[in-house]
Structure 1
Amino acid sequence: MKVFDAHIHFDKYEENDRQKIIESLSSNKIEGLINVSMDLASCQENLKIAEVNPTIYPAFGFHPEQAIPSDGDVTEMFDWIGKHQDKMVAVGEVGLPYYLRTQENNSRFPYQQYVDLLEEFIKLAKKLDKPIILHAVYNDAPVVCDLLEKHTIERAHFHWFKGDQKTMERLIRNGFYVSLTPDILYEEETREVVKTFPLDLIMSETDGPWPFEGIFTNQMTHPKMVHHVVREISEMKNISLNEVYSLLYENVRWFYRIK
């Protein structure tokens, strides 16, 4: 009954909470955390965390829901990632700024700059032979698919994915993975993804410290919540719990080349 949390922002937790989580991983049968980064400072912090915690696997990237970095900052980040590529399991989290763009509602929003930056990260993942972790929801997802197909990327992980049926079918044809959060218990969009995707293209995540509702209201998001995700997938797909546990566990190990 072991699990991975396939997507978490561990550096965004308070240090005391980090230690509590680390100390509780074994008792909660959490085999490891795929720890994504927000920017260069986040990459550097996550590398430090991973160096003293072997169950935490870092990914390095730039989260798109923030202001576009300067050319100098991009160069510095890519140089740093190149020097530390052997320490990371993936490029991520990267993608396109759906929520930021919606909030600003500005016709002059520099969307193409985000697309161009994402393409550079995709080329980097290709060059380094690393998987890529994507923030790409709704109408951004087809744009991202275009780029992945252009560069013949095979190992792409769309975390907390939301999109229409046509886009989901496109992801499945490409063999791209999705990961599902605890909102599977109450969010219909997430439940639709479960219904559509085959089990061999699914992972489970928390996206912590992002908070959840329902039975998780007012709780600190903990990797152990992944067990709720696994159980709900088992019930929804009418597949034995042991089989779901086993396959989701192996999906993460295979995708991220974890021995």
Structure 2
Amino acid sequence: MIDSHVHLDADQYPDPSGAIKRAHDAGVSAMVVPGVGPASNRAVLELARKYPGIVFPALGFHPERFEHSEDGARAVLDMIERERASICAVGEVGLPWYGERAGDAGVIDAAKLTLARFARAAVALDLPLILHAPHARAGEALAIIREAHVTRAVFHWHKSDEQTTRAIIGAGYFISLSPEVAYRARDQDLARMLPADRMLVETDGPWAHGGQFAGRLTEPAMIKEVVAALAHLRCTTFEEVAAATTANSRTLFRTKSS
């Protein structure tokens, strides 16, 4: 199994080797670790060098980080180009939704232009996009990446209406499901409607989850429970869900088994 989105460079993981071992013991053989800005991207690359074949790095510019500057965006784009051979994706990038400034039309317009730049870079370098585009932002992000002719992308921890979801699927993109699928009706409805060949699984660690995960540090090992919940919801076997989501991750990110 693969955790398609975990911020292993976060302070909550002072010893990533422990989380990696627990993931391995749970059957999680690899994890995609997206950066969120220049410093994070450097840390992600270092993790990948330390854990080759297990940590697959992506370089990004998180849209909710309003302290980001034009210089920061340019630095990340330059790093993506330099590190093309070392990374599996461009991300985490996208459009802001949370916080007061995310409702500012000027902020959104600027974020759309920035996302378009990263989308064009992904196309030029033949890399997939990892998208942060919650709720109504999903449709806006979809329009931007389609205009840029992006062919490979995942809408991470997707939260949008059925019409937008079907448009994303119809465009050939992937959607990832988080631990919320084990306890939240919205995510469970999404899990039932997704085609097997469009699903990924993720933890988005260290983000804390509820339900059976409440009070626990979010780690890649939780993917085993996410897959079990999906199998139950879809009336299929654990093995089938694990195989499908792993194959989908490898297709999107073009990673090889460790």
What TM bracket, shorter-length normalisation? over 0.9
1:190 aligns with 2:187: yes
1:170-224: CA deviation from partner (whole Å, max 9, x where unpaired): 0111111011111111112211211221111001100000011111111111111
Shift of 1:68: 5.5
Shift of 1:23: 2.7
* Counterpart for residue 144 of structure 1: 141
Partner Cα separation in structure 1 for residue 252 and residue 102 of structure 2: 36
Shift of 1:42: 0.4
Q: Give the aligned residue type for 1:32.
A: A
Shift of 1:235: 1.1
* Counterpart for residue 60 of structure 1: 59
Residues 252 and 108 of structure 1, relative CA distance in 2, 3 Å threshold: closer
1:9 aligns with 2:7: yes
* Structure-to-structure mapping, 1:17-166, within 5 angstroms: 17-54=15-52, 55-67=54-66, 69-100=68-99, 103-104=100-101, 107=104, 109-166=106-163
Shift of 1:108: 5.4
**What is the number of equivalent residue pairs in this alignment?**
255
Residues 245 and 15 of structure 1, relative CA distance in 2, 3 Å threshold: closer
* Counterpart for residue 235 of structure 1: 232
- 8 A Cα contact 1:168 1:196, kept in partner: no
Residues 164 and 71 of structure 1, relative CA distance in 2, 3 Å threshold: same
* Counterpart for residue 206 of structure 2: 209
- Flag structure 2 segments of 5+ consecutive residues without an equivalent: none
Partner Cα separation in structure 1 for residue 233 and residue 13 of structure 2: 36
Partner Cα separation in structure 1 for residue 24 and residue 135 of structure 2: 36
Partner Cα separation in structure 2 for residue 108 and residue 151 of structure 1: 22
Residues 227 and 25 of structure 1, relative CA distance in 2, 3 Å threshold: closer
- 8 A Cα contact 1:183 1:190, kept in partner: yes
1:179 aligns with 2:176: yes
After superposing on structure 2, the runs of 4+ consecutive aligned residues of structure 1 that deviate more than 6 Å are none
Comparing 248-257 and 13-22, the one that deviates more: 13-22
Q: Give the aligned residue type for 2:68.
A: P
Q: Give the aligned residue type for 2:85.
A: D
| Identity rate, percent | 30
Partner Cα separation in structure 1 for residue 102 and residue 251 of structure 2: 40
- 8 A Cα contact 2:102 2:108, kept in partner: no
- 8 A Cα contact 2:91 2:129, kept in partner: yes
* Counterpart for residue 251 of structure 1: 248
Structure 2 length-normalised TM: 0.94
Aligned with 1:10: secondary structure?
coil
Aligned with 2:63: secondary structure?
coil
Partner Cα separation in structure 2 for residue 222 and residue 200 of structure 1: 24
Partner Cα separation in structure 2 for residue 195 and residue 106 of structure 1: 31
Indicate the RMSD between aligned Cα atoms, in angstroms: 1.5
